[in-house]
Structure 1
Amino acid sequence: MFESVPRVVGTVAGSECKESGQKGLRIISVVIVAALTVAVVLLRLYRLDELPAGIQVSEALNGVDALRVLGGEHAVFFPSEFSGHEGLVVYLIALSISVLGQTDLALRLPTALANAGTVFVVYW
Protein backbone atom coordinates (compact mmCIF):
# COMPACT_ATOMS: atom_id res chain seq x y z
CA MET A 1 0.00 0.00 0.00
CA PHE A 2 2.73 2.49 0.90
CA GLU A 3 4.80 1.43 -2.06
CA SER A 4 2.38 3.05 -4.52
CA VAL A 5 2.45 6.47 -2.82
CA PRO A 6 5.87 7.57 -4.17
CA ARG A 7 4.85 6.57 -7.66
CA VAL A 8 1.74 8.75 -7.60
CA VAL A 9 3.60 11.69 -6.07
CA GLY A 10 6.44 11.26 -8.55
CA THR A 11 4.00 11.16 -11.47
CA VAL A 12 2.23 14.34 -10.37
CA ALA A 13 5.52 16.14 -9.78
CA GLY A 14 6.82 14.97 -13.17
CA SER A 15 3.77 16.35 -15.01
CA GLU A 16 4.18 19.68 -13.20
CA CYS A 17 7.81 19.84 -14.34
CA LYS A 18 6.78 19.15 -17.94
CA GLU A 19 4.12 21.88 -17.81
CA SER A 20 6.53 24.42 -16.35
CA GLY A 21 9.11 23.43 -18.97
CA GLN A 22 6.55 23.96 -21.75
CA LYS A 23 5.64 27.37 -20.32
CA GLY A 24 9.31 28.27 -20.27
CA LEU A 25 9.67 27.25 -23.92
CA ARG A 26 6.61 29.30 -24.85
CA ILE A 27 8.03 32.36 -23.13
CA ILE A 28 11.36 31.88 -24.89
CA SER A 29 9.57 31.46 -28.23
CA VAL A 30 7.55 34.63 -27.70
CA VAL A 31 10.68 36.58 -26.77
CA ILE A 32 12.54 35.30 -29.84
CA VAL A 33 9.64 36.12 -32.19
CA ALA A 34 9.25 39.57 -30.61
CA ALA A 35 12.98 40.27 -30.98
CA LEU A 36 12.95 39.10 -34.60
CA THR A 37 9.91 41.23 -35.33
CA VAL A 38 11.53 44.33 -33.85
CA ALA A 39 14.72 43.66 -35.83
CA VAL A 40 12.78 43.15 -39.07
CA VAL A 41 10.71 46.31 -38.54
CA LEU A 42 13.80 48.39 -37.76
CA LEU A 43 15.74 47.05 -40.73
CA ARG A 44 12.78 47.31 -43.11
CA LEU A 45 11.80 50.85 -42.10
CA TYR A 46 15.33 52.27 -41.92
CA ARG A 47 15.53 55.16 -44.42
CA LEU A 48 12.45 53.82 -46.20
CA ASP A 49 11.75 57.20 -47.78
CA GLU A 50 15.27 57.30 -49.30
CA LEU A 51 16.14 53.70 -50.19
CA PRO A 52 15.96 52.54 -52.89
CA ALA A 53 16.52 55.85 -54.61
CA GLY A 54 13.59 56.96 -56.71
CA ILE A 55 10.21 55.41 -57.23
CA GLN A 56 9.99 52.03 -58.92
CA VAL A 57 7.42 51.42 -61.68
CA SER A 58 5.20 49.16 -59.55
CA GLU A 59 5.22 51.69 -56.70
CA ALA A 60 4.24 54.46 -59.09
CA LEU A 61 1.39 52.42 -60.57
CA ASN A 62 0.11 51.56 -57.10
CA GLY A 63 0.34 55.25 -56.19
CA VAL A 64 -1.67 56.28 -59.25
CA ASP A 65 -4.35 53.74 -58.35
CA ALA A 66 -4.35 55.00 -54.74
CA LEU A 67 -4.85 58.56 -55.98
CA ARG A 68 -7.78 57.31 -58.06
CA VAL A 69 -9.27 55.78 -54.90
CA LEU A 70 -8.81 59.07 -53.06
CA GLY A 71 -10.54 60.74 -56.00
CA GLY A 72 -13.65 58.60 -55.47
CA GLU A 73 -13.09 55.52 -57.63
CA HIS A 74 -13.73 52.36 -55.66
CA ALA A 75 -12.81 49.03 -57.22
CA VAL A 76 -11.88 45.57 -56.00
CA PHE A 77 -9.24 44.95 -58.65
CA PHE A 78 -7.22 47.60 -60.48
CA PRO A 79 -6.24 46.48 -63.98
CA SER A 80 -3.34 48.23 -65.68
CA GLU A 81 -1.29 47.95 -68.85
CA PHE A 82 1.28 45.60 -67.32
CA SER A 83 -0.70 43.64 -64.75
CA GLY A 84 -3.38 44.07 -62.13
CA HIS A 85 -2.97 45.53 -58.68
CA GLU A 86 -4.49 44.07 -55.56
CA GLY A 87 -7.27 46.13 -54.05
CA LEU A 88 -6.11 45.80 -50.44
CA VAL A 89 -2.64 47.13 -51.24
CA VAL A 90 -4.06 50.06 -53.19
CA TYR A 91 -6.52 50.95 -50.40
CA LEU A 92 -3.78 50.76 -47.75
CA ILE A 93 -1.55 53.02 -49.86
CA ALA A 94 -4.50 55.41 -50.28
CA LEU A 95 -4.90 55.50 -46.49
CA SER A 96 -1.18 56.11 -46.10
CA ILE A 97 -1.24 58.93 -48.65
CA SER A 98 -4.21 60.54 -46.91
CA VAL A 99 -2.29 60.52 -43.61
CA LEU A 100 1.29 61.22 -44.76
CA GLY A 101 0.70 63.11 -48.00
CA GLN A 102 2.06 62.32 -51.44
CA THR A 103 5.52 61.15 -50.40
CA ASP A 104 7.80 58.20 -51.10
CA LEU A 105 7.28 57.06 -47.52
CA ALA A 106 3.50 56.98 -47.97
CA LEU A 107 3.90 54.76 -51.04
CA ARG A 108 6.27 52.30 -49.37
CA LEU A 109 5.06 52.14 -45.77
CA PRO A 110 2.03 49.80 -46.14
CA THR A 111 3.92 47.15 -48.08
CA ALA A 112 6.95 47.45 -45.78
CA LEU A 113 4.76 46.88 -42.71
CA ALA A 114 3.07 43.92 -44.39
CA ASN A 115 6.51 42.55 -45.21
CA ALA A 116 7.59 42.92 -41.58
CA GLY A 117 4.40 41.15 -40.49
CA THR A 118 5.43 37.98 -42.27
CA VAL A 119 7.52 37.07 -39.21
CA PHE A 120 4.28 36.30 -37.35
CA VAL A 121 2.83 34.40 -40.31
CA VAL A 122 5.90 32.23 -40.67
CA TYR A 123 6.03 31.56 -36.92
CA TRP A 124 2.34 30.73 -36.70
Structure 2
Amino acid sequence: MTERPLTAYKVLTAEQMATLERDGCFQGAPVDLADGYVHLSTADQLTETVDKHFAGQSDLHVAAVDLGSFGDSLKWEESRGGQLFPHLYGPLLLETVVAYGALERDADGRVKLPITG
Protein backbone atom coordinates (compact mmCIF):
# COMPACT_ATOMS: atom_id res chain seq x y z
CA MET A 1 0.00 0.00 0.00
CA THR A 2 1.30 3.44 -0.93
CA GLU A 3 1.87 5.82 1.94
CA ARG A 4 -0.51 8.75 1.83
CA PRO A 5 0.85 12.31 1.89
CA LEU A 6 0.51 14.42 5.02
CA THR A 7 -0.36 17.56 3.07
CA ALA A 8 -2.97 18.23 0.41
CA TYR A 9 -3.91 21.36 -1.48
CA LYS A 10 -7.06 23.39 -2.02
CA VAL A 11 -7.39 25.83 -4.92
CA LEU A 12 -9.37 28.92 -3.95
CA THR A 13 -10.50 32.05 -5.72
CA ALA A 14 -9.42 35.35 -4.18
CA GLU A 15 -12.90 35.76 -2.70
CA GLN A 16 -12.84 32.25 -1.21
CA MET A 17 -9.36 32.86 0.25
CA ALA A 18 -10.61 36.09 1.80
CA THR A 19 -13.53 34.18 3.36
CA LEU A 20 -11.15 31.60 4.83
CA GLU A 21 -8.92 34.33 6.28
CA ARG A 22 -11.82 36.43 7.62
CA ASP A 23 -14.03 33.66 9.02
CA GLY A 24 -11.36 31.10 9.92
CA CYS A 25 -13.23 28.49 7.90
CA PHE A 26 -14.43 27.80 4.39
CA GLN A 27 -17.53 25.70 3.79
CA GLY A 28 -16.61 25.00 0.18
CA ALA A 29 -16.89 26.20 -3.38
CA PRO A 30 -20.17 25.58 -5.25
CA VAL A 31 -18.85 22.22 -6.55
CA ASP A 32 -17.83 21.22 -3.00
CA LEU A 33 -21.27 22.08 -1.63
CA ALA A 34 -22.96 20.20 -4.47
CA ASP A 35 -20.81 17.08 -3.94
CA GLY A 36 -21.01 17.20 -0.13
CA TYR A 37 -17.26 17.50 0.55
CA VAL A 38 -14.33 19.86 0.02
CA HIS A 39 -12.20 18.68 -2.91
CA LEU A 40 -8.48 18.52 -2.18
CA SER A 41 -5.56 17.39 -4.35
CA THR A 42 -2.17 15.90 -3.61
CA ALA A 43 0.95 17.67 -4.83
CA ASP A 44 1.10 15.29 -7.80
CA GLN A 45 -2.56 15.95 -8.70
CA LEU A 46 -2.57 19.73 -8.23
CA THR A 47 -1.46 20.96 -11.67
CA GLU A 48 -3.94 18.70 -13.47
CA THR A 49 -6.71 19.86 -11.11
CA VAL A 50 -5.96 23.51 -11.87
CA ASP A 51 -5.70 22.89 -15.62
CA LYS A 52 -8.97 20.92 -15.71
CA HIS A 53 -11.18 22.83 -13.28
CA PHE A 54 -9.75 26.37 -13.21
CA ALA A 55 -8.64 26.91 -16.83
CA GLY A 56 -8.66 30.56 -17.82
CA GLN A 57 -9.23 31.80 -14.27
CA SER A 58 -6.86 34.27 -12.68
CA ASP A 59 -6.34 35.50 -9.13
CA LEU A 60 -6.30 31.97 -7.73
CA HIS A 61 -4.69 30.87 -4.47
CA VAL A 62 -3.37 27.55 -3.19
CA ALA A 63 -3.70 26.49 0.43
CA ALA A 64 -1.53 23.68 1.85
CA VAL A 65 -3.63 21.67 4.29
CA ASP A 66 -2.39 19.45 7.13
CA LEU A 67 -4.25 16.18 6.55
CA GLY A 68 -3.46 14.92 10.04
CA SER A 69 -5.92 17.44 11.46
CA PHE A 70 -9.12 15.87 10.18
CA GLY A 71 -9.46 12.35 11.51
CA ASP A 72 -12.54 10.56 10.17
CA SER A 73 -13.79 13.61 8.25
CA LEU A 74 -11.04 13.02 5.63
CA LYS A 75 -11.65 10.20 3.17
CA TRP A 76 -9.52 9.01 0.26
CA GLU A 77 -11.88 8.29 -2.62
CA GLU A 78 -11.51 7.29 -6.23
CA SER A 79 -12.04 10.06 -8.73
CA ARG A 80 -10.43 11.28 -11.95
CA GLY A 81 -8.77 8.40 -13.80
CA GLY A 82 -9.18 6.05 -10.86
CA GLN A 83 -6.82 8.11 -8.68
CA LEU A 84 -7.48 8.44 -4.96
CA PHE A 85 -8.18 12.02 -3.92
CA PRO A 86 -8.50 13.42 -0.42
CA HIS A 87 -12.06 14.59 0.28
CA LEU A 88 -12.88 16.60 3.39
CA TYR A 89 -16.36 16.00 4.79
CA GLY A 90 -16.62 19.21 6.77
CA PRO A 91 -15.38 22.78 6.57
CA LEU A 92 -11.80 23.70 5.79
CA LEU A 93 -10.47 25.44 8.91
CA LEU A 94 -7.79 28.11 8.67
CA GLU A 95 -6.01 26.49 11.63
CA THR A 96 -5.36 23.40 9.46
CA VAL A 97 -3.75 25.46 6.67
CA VAL A 98 0.03 25.35 7.03
CA ALA A 99 0.81 27.70 4.13
CA TYR A 100 -0.94 29.55 1.35
CA GLY A 101 -0.26 31.99 -1.41
CA ALA A 102 -1.13 33.15 -4.87
CA LEU A 103 -1.11 30.40 -7.49
CA GLU A 104 2.14 30.52 -9.44
CA ARG A 105 3.70 28.17 -11.98
CA ASP A 106 7.27 27.11 -12.55
CA ALA A 107 9.10 27.21 -15.90
CA ASP A 108 7.58 23.82 -16.83
CA GLY A 109 4.04 25.04 -16.17
CA ARG A 110 3.56 23.05 -12.95
CA VAL A 111 1.79 24.76 -10.07
CA LYS A 112 4.26 25.81 -7.37
CA LEU A 113 3.41 24.61 -3.89
CA PRO A 114 3.11 27.20 -1.14
CA ILE A 115 6.16 27.24 1.13
CA THR A 116 5.41 25.60 4.46
CA GLY A 117 7.16 26.89 7.54
TM-score (norm 2): 0.25
Structure ranking higher on relative contact order (CA contacts 8 Å, 6+ apart): 2
More helix by share: 1
More strand by share: 2
TM-score (norm 1): 0.24
